[in-house]
Chain A
Amino acid sequence: MSTTPVTPKAIKTNRIGLQILDYRGGKTTLCAGCGHNSISERITEAFYEMGIQPERVMKMSGIGCSSKSPAYFMSRSFSFNSVHGRMPSVATGALLANKTMRSIGVSGDGDTASIGMGQFVHLMRRNVPMIYIIEDNGVYGLTKGQFSATADMGSKLKTGVVNDLPAIDICALAIQMGATFVGRSFSGDKKQLSTMLKAALSHQGTVLLDVISPCVTFNDHEGSTKSYKYMQEHEEAVSEVGFVPYFDDIAVEYDASTTVDVQLHDGSHMRLRKIHDDYNPTDRANAVKMLMDVHEKGEVLTGVFYVDTQKPDFTTLLNMVDEPLATLPQERTRPGREVLTAIMEAHL
């Protein structure tokens, strides 16, 4: 027996006393190396670091490889794997029922940009307060590798088939439709994605994050524009994203001529150090132009493109009572006897 005294290793916990284990999900069944798994890890870390109670979170998804991923993070959160392309409506309904919950939706490029386009744009338009992540790989994985609508023109499938239709730029679309926090990242860019997720958790409104997440099985080859290699060679950050959470000291200095400071709804600050000269994350038209110009050059622009902290979110617009509608007591949802009597008299 050792004589060295054993000091128990301190268990690391977050602001609300939970361990990272409390944010873990089930074992992934996605392919080894799939970008989606990295995104699940970043989500787990972001919620842990921000100290968000898992029971206060709703995880929403549609159908596809990406939509399976909510099973692989945060098992203590409530999860709804709905139908193909329709997660936005289910997520909206759930938030109407209980606006005090946080909501994170995980979708794919097929689930969003094809079958789900109708509901997607209306979610953006309403500025429904949730984080909407697109795990974007340019192909349908679960049905074995057909092109999706975010595949770039000229991109090649393994079988040699070339995509001859233009890609839908989900970020440009989201900005135009009314989303109030729009950015793109890459599953392989741990730091940028992590920072953007934490900032997203501090925003009240629709956050659209288009995360390029290579499909190692069907779209990671030469000729693909959504491969790890292509992203490593063509990713072009518009800004460097920094984040100071509301519970940390804000004293860190920044240079206002090179950095945009955005105060988010919970008091956290997002600091965006310009890389592009004409970068202005509060100018919608400029953001869309920049996305188009860079795409034209064959590069993939990442970073936070647009943020608006003023526009009211959908649940605020509806002017509902403070408590969740779902659990209002009968006294508050069933008008009194005299109301019915008066209505009946009016119909006599």
Chain B
Amino acid sequence: MTTSQLSAQAEPATQSARGANYIVNDFSIQIATVNGSGSQSANSVLLRSIFRMGIPVSGKNLFPSNIAGLPTWYTIRVSKDGWVARKAHIDVLIAMNAETAREDVLSLSAGGAVIYDESLKLNELRSDLAYYAVPFDQLATTTGADAKIRKLVKNMVYVGVAAKLLSIDMEAVEQTVRKQFAKKVKAAELNLNAVRVGYDYVASTLTKHDPYVVERMNATAGKIIIDGNSAAALGAMFAGVTVVPWYPITPSSSVVENLIDLMKKHRVDANGKASFAIVQAEDELAAIGMVLGAGWAGARSMTASSGPGISLMAEFAGLGYYAEIPGVIFDVQRTGPSTGLPTRTSQADLTFVAGISHGDTKHVILLPGTVRECYEFGLEAFDLAEQLQTPIFVLSDLDLGMNNWMSEPFEYPEKPMNRGKVLNAEQLEKLGGFARYKDVDGDGIPYRTLPGTDHPLAAYFTRGSGHNEKALYTERPEDYENNMLRLARKFDTAKKLVPKPILQGTGKEKVGIIAFGTTHWAVIESRMQLERENQLATDYLRIRAFPFTQEIHDFVAKHDRVYVVEQNRDAQMLSLLKIDLDPVQLVKLHSILHFNGLPIDARFVTAAIATHQGAGK
């Protein structure tokens, strides 16, 4: 399996035609609005227009757990070098929310630019910023739009203002708007008109006095922009998923919502009949119960949830492990329980999911770090589930799942589906029956039959752990022990099948970094910073699955110091490594932890590693 990393070094820094006073293609924009104001499509136009100019971008939405009226921030990072992790410092602010405007302005980097509604009078707050006062309400009125939609139109006005101030091509904006409103020509014209009103206002009234501009590049040709949840849904559809019970929870809902749209388009036959069943369950317990029922009966089944929902699935997850039933569970991780910070990102379900349920359960986990891996692991998870006859967890997170990322386009699956060890009636006749939990092949994976298999010896009785090889009820100690040992062998087999970690660097450095998931993007940028600013060369291993493969043991063994960077408080990846690694290696491991709900950024990693290194000298 290949990964698509937008190589940071691939694009040479563009030489600006504007001279030294400008900062070209290397800054961040923050749009501060109120949620429910319809700013999402305006922000998307801004992001995609810059992308269309060939400049690498990433977009992150920081939103509240609320429908309308609370502050929302959307951040666009423009990076000629292709860095797409969050950038902690903001350079250009579009202040549309009176409530947060003061704080937003105070948090800007010196020399930053502020586009604001003139009524907010922000220009007196600091003297080291460039201010652009815009009469947004008045401009929205001049667009001629109905009062009802003026609020939305106002958002497009700021797109026009930003476009002019930052030198975004109007041609790119026009193409983007027309694509975004492809089916609504009238809406496209209305929005474009609003963009022009903003653009013209700047042209006729304001003078640029900040350094931030964009210039055309050729670094995004052929690339797509997509969020991880859409990518996961695509993977599931091409994996041939058929049964999808789910229960809505942020930030995972859009996995299934996207899947519903896709399946309606591509998985309904000429007679209008569906090759799938998507069911909104009454809760997550029912969702996972249906997954197991469907998996037992032979379907490719999945659900998607997040921490609190995954918690509810614990008992069934254990049953799935012991009864050996395939199923795929996407966990789009967020912070905390119930009314914690449900709309913020984290990587804090790792240890919980690794052993989720009652005693002695271990689960196979896939850890996508890119949107392309959300797609690829989305496909792969279904093969693994049926090959290994066990629930497979795919741990994404809010940052990956709900934000927009650039990627190479996804590739069509060339391998046929692997449906695992399933015996049909003819095979049963030849074999003279079968033993459901017997390790025939020495890999710990037994053979199964599906309900409905037309043979008198096909049926077996499915229950929890109290069964012998023939699936008969037993409480004999040796039967239980044998079954447990076989399950452990099966977990060893999983090591051969899961995606291997990816090494970056020479492999010969003294210092190593281990990370997984979205932490990847901060780590690759940090490695460049460490090398440039601290003369510290590092090797980097990105873990992509649990159980851990030999490469991970080797990586730790080869390095003097290994920083394990992750987005949780309790060093969860490091804790899992501690269980697996040779005890003499453990002293090498050091934790770098980021857990405030915002995506981790490179500066944080660099500072932490530099401090550790200094202390270690």
Contacts and interface: CB of A to CB of B under 8 A. Distances in A.
A95 B292 CA distance: 11
A325 B299 contact: yes
Contacts of A341: 412
Contacts of B515: none
B135 interface: no
B300 A333 contact: yes
A97 B292 CA distance: 10
Query: Which of A101, A122, A328, A344 lies at the interface centre, i.e. has the most chain B CB atoms within 10 A of its CB?
Result: A344
Contacts of A90: 289-290, 292-293, 296
Given A86-B316, A89-B286, A94-B294, A335 B274 contact: no
Most buried by B among A53, A318, A321, A322: A321
A122 B455 contact: no
B451 A98 contact: yes
Given A86-B285, A96-B277, A96-B290, A328 B242 contact: yes
B454 A348 contact: no
B604 interface: no
A83 interface: yes
B412 A93 contact: no
Q: Chain A: interface residue count, which band? A: 35 or more
Interface stretch (B162-170, B458-466, B556-564, B574-582): B458-466
Given A81-B463, A122-B282, A343-B234, A334 B413 contact: yes
B455 A55 contact: yes
Contacts of B288: 89
Given A75-B459, A93-B291, A333-B267, A82 B299 contact: no
Nearest to B227: A347
B297 A98 contact: yes
Contact of A335 (B245, B267, B449, B451): B267
A299 B275 CA distance: 49
Nearest to B462: A80
Nearest to A341: B412
A100 interface: yes
Nearest to A335: B266
Nearest to B289: A89
B616 interface: no
B341 to A, nearest CB: 27
B290 A93 contact: yes
A121 to B, nearest CB: 8
Contact of B277 (A60, A71, A320, A337): A320
Contacts of A56: 452
B409 to A, nearest CB: 4
B183 to A, nearest CB: 12
B226 interface: yes
Given A71-B473, A333-B275, A58 B297 contact: yes
A254 interface: no
Nearest to A67: B463
Interface residues of B, number: 71
A298 interface: no
Given A77-B459, A81-B463, A90-B289, A326 B450 contact: yes
A119 B282 contact: yes
A71 B269 CA distance: 40
Interface string A301-338: 00000000000000100111110111110101111010
Interface in B443-459: 449-456, 458-459
B185 interface: no
Interface string A50-90: 00011110101000000000110001111111110010111
A80 B322 CA distance: 13
Interface string A118-129: 110010000000
A340 interface: yes
A92 B456 contact: no
A71 B294 CA distance: 21
A6 interface: no
A58 B224 contact: no
Contact of B459 (A78, A97, A318, A326): A78
Interface string B192-235: 00000000000000000000000000000011111000000010
A55 B459 contact: yes
Interface in B383-405: none
A230 to B, nearest CB: 33
B273 interface: yes
Contact of B293 (A93, A321, A334, A340): A93
B461 A81 contact: yes
A319 B279 CA distance: 12
A104 interface: no
A276 B494 CA distance: 63
B319 interface: yes
A89 B269 CA distance: 27
Given A58-B451, A78-B451, A98-B298, A322 B273 contact: yes
Nearest to A348: B224
Interface of A: 22, 53-56, 58, 60, 70-71, 75-83, 86, 88-98, 100-101, 118-119, 122, 315, 318-322, 324-328, 330, 332-335, 337, 339-341, 343-344, 347-348
14 contacts: A58-B451, A75-B461, A80-B323, A82-B289, A89-B286, A93-B291, A94-B294, A98-B299, A98-B450, A101-B452, A118-B286, A315-B277, A319-B274, A328-B275
Interface of B: 222-226, 234, 237-243, 245, 262, 266-267, 269, 272-277, 279, 281-283, 285-301, 315-316, 319, 323, 409-410, 412-413, 416-417, 449-456, 458-464, 473
Given A78-B460, A96-B294, A330-B417, 16 more contacts: A55-B456, A78-B452, A81-B463, A83-B315, A88-B289, A89-B286, A89-B289, A93-B289, A96-B245, A96-B293, A97-B297, A119-B285, A122-B286, A326-B294, A333-B242, A343-B234
